[in-house]
Structure 1
Amino acid sequence: MTPRDRLVRLERELRVLSRSAAVGRSAVRLDDVVDALGERALLVFISHRGRLVGVSVVGGRVRVHDFRAARHVPPSGDVTALDRLLRPAGDRAVVVVPSPELARVPWGALPSARGRAVSVASSVGCWFRAAVRPLAVAERVWVSGRTGREVSALRAAHGGRVCSTVDDALRGMARADVVHFAARGERQDELFSYLSLADGPLHGHDLAGLARVPSVVVLSGGESGLAPLLMRRGARVVVESVRPSTDERAVDLMVALHANLANPAQALADAQLRHGDLGFVCLGAG
């Protein structure tokens, strides 16, 4: 067996092991979900036989909405056309479970979502398990991988500790409540996706080996593919962008976000309303 063949085989085995972690989880009862939602609305989007169907849970009532052909769902850049998908939620804070066609929608950019708390989850069960986890935001670590200005501004505004290497970042994650990565992300297969730090890549398989992860993780360098893994490992909230983030406004936006992490989804909505939409989404239970 060649080295390349061994690598392919190892990657395949790691994918199987990572997916097996979700096996055996019990189903979530609708009554429990309704109780956990409180005043929020839940929108679940499903592709079924070429049609996009929405299921809303608003005020304890469940409704089904037909949004017609899934292949006609507008691209994520057409925010006005996508805005109709949020209508069943009214003006409530909303939890969104997107279908594959909607996975990269910058929900905060939709006209009716501006300034409104929006949490995005991969499933109703994922959101519920995150929602019942405690939200802790006291101990903060800033990880520098691309620019010192961002972490310097965050530390000056909110205190905390700065680090820049893989080992220091992993040690910080094992103890901190909030970890913020100002680092470029590279999306690959989940366990081999990584963040570029000062001394090399921090891979998904490094994070998978942690005994615990922080309550809140912010990935300010764009979509890395690491958010689902972090959620499974126990994070309550992961904030990242669905598009590359090189805008200088991101520094001020991140400082504003961390000022009100007791309510992460609303803090992100307020920050993007003030500093401009940069495609950031609040994943999990914000």
Structure 2
Amino acid sequence: MAGGSVARAAGAAADDDRLADDLAELRQVMAAGDLRRQAELEQAIRTRARHATGIRAAEPVPATRQLATALGDQTLVEYVESDGLLHAVVFERGRTRLHDIGPAADVAREVEALRFGINHLAHRIGSDRTRKAIEERLGQAAERLDRLVPTGPAPLVVVPTGALHALPWPALPSCRNRAVTVAPSAALWLRAAGTPHTAGRTVLAAGPSLDHAVAEVEALKRRYPHADRFTGRRATTANLLHALDGAGLAHIAAHGRFRADNPLFSTLTLADGPLTVYDLEGFDQPPQQVVLSACEAGSSGIRPGDELLGLAAALLALGTRTLIASAVSVPDDTSKALMLRYHRELATGRAPAEALARAQRTWTEAVFQCYGASSPSTRAKGEP
């Protein structure tokens, strides 16, 4: 029996080594643009990986009393689709009520219109007249979508379904200046909210070919003087993964790319090439809070059963408590000011969702949202 266990452990270790080699080669061939070899390696990685990190909505339903205690004054809104119709289940102060919203297809079209408008404004597409018209239609789409959200000042915990996973919730009128946290399920939110918040080191990293990234990290280094900093050639996948393991706060400014064809190969670009979802699965202790100052990093692929796949979903599934990321592709130079304001608010002790709400000022900044669970931050080890 013991010999068999050792043999299986050795085989697993060998598989891990081969997977690591494949991931390292994948970074090289993607940088070289060798699409044929890239496809071969991606297939080998999918076959060799023991499991794929994703989140399923069909998880055990938390006990009502437990959920009410954890929520406190927050309002939980979980969306469900049935026979093509969208409904919202609102849970507030231990009481549940149901709202009928309407055809899910109509809501999906409004979500797409909102994303289209924000993308065009962010990338400054078209003439001033065209952008003004787009902004007007964008505002109309946001107003129509606002019926999704219960009124009132209470902080929101949102559990989307279907097309609502792609909605930048802070862009809705009822969500402006309001703490909004997006979670894949009530069960995952409860797990994250109940995770002890301990101090850990701060990690700052800047990827290549991103004009604002190094300046952003340098500015944050002044706020977190004891942080581990990775820029230039030091910002490699191996260095960053090692530093992220057990970190309290990680801020990564890098190019992000969401792969709709295969979300597990969505990437953050580092000095030695792209970091993928598969690279994240070696953590002993995932970072508690991760800020991804990268476009599309919050996007997720949706499989049957509302299973989510992508960088954001992987981090939350692995146990990251709070994630700040963008749900829409935006220009790389638009996030620096927002991120500096966010960390300034965070330093006052505000919860991440509240800090983000206070930091956001424009349509473009509203694409960043808080995923997972949000509670007042604790200072990283060694920070003043």
Please state how far the C-alpha of 1:275 moved relative to its aligned partner. Answer: 9.5
Gaps of 5+ in 1: none
8 Å CA contact 1:107, 1:113 repeated in 2 = yes
Helix, strand or coil at the partner of 2:365: coil
> Percent identity at matched positions?
34
Which of 329, 337, 352 in structure 2 is aligned with 1:244? 329
Helix, strand or coil at the partner of 1:101: helix
2:186 counterpart residue number = 124
Question: Residue deviations 1:109-135, cap 9 Å, x none?
Answer: 111111110000111111111100123
Gaps of 5+ in 2: 1-35, 115-140, 298-309, 375-384
| CA–CA distance in structure 2, aligned partners of residues 11 and 182 of structure 1 | 27
Map 1:114-193 → 2, pairs under 5 A: 114-136=176-198, 139-145=201-207, 146=210, 147-159=213-225, 160-163=227-230, 164-188=235-259, 189-193=262-266
The structure with the greater share of residues assigned to strand is 1
Which of 352, 356, 360 in structure 2 is aligned with 1:272? 360
Larger C-alpha radius of gyration, 1 or 2? 2
Residue 180 and residue 5 in structure 1: after superposition, are their counterparts in 2 closer, same or farther (change >3 A)?
Answer: closer
Question: Residue deviations 1:70-95, cap 9 Å, x none?
Answer: 111122512111111112x5221000
1:213 counterpart residue number = 286
Aligned length: 283
1:75 counterpart residue number = 111
How high is the TM-score relative to the length of structure 1? 0.90
* Segment drifting more, 168-177 vs 187-196: 187-196
Helix, strand or coil at the partner of 1:17: coil
Question: Residue deviations 1:243-267, cap 9 Å, x none?
Answer: 1232534112111212243410000
8 Å CA contact 1:153, 1:251 repeated in 2 = no
CA-atom RMSD in angstroms: 2.6
The structure with the greater share of residues assigned to helix is 2
Whether 2:308 is the aligned partner of 1:204: answer no
| CA–CA distance in structure 1, aligned partners of residues 91 and 255 of structure 2 | 37
| CA–CA distance in structure 1, aligned partners of residues 218 and 295 of structure 2 | 19
Please state how far the C-alpha of 1:191 moved relative to its aligned partner. Answer: 3.1
| CA–CA distance in structure 2, aligned partners of residues 97 and 29 of structure 1 | 16
Please state how far the C-alpha of 1:25 moved relative to its aligned partner. Answer: 6.7
Residue 62 and residue 153 in structure 1: after superposition, are their counterparts in 2 closer, same or farther (change >3 A)?
Answer: same
Residue 265 and residue 149 in structure 1: after superposition, are their counterparts in 2 closer, same or farther (change >3 A)?
Answer: same
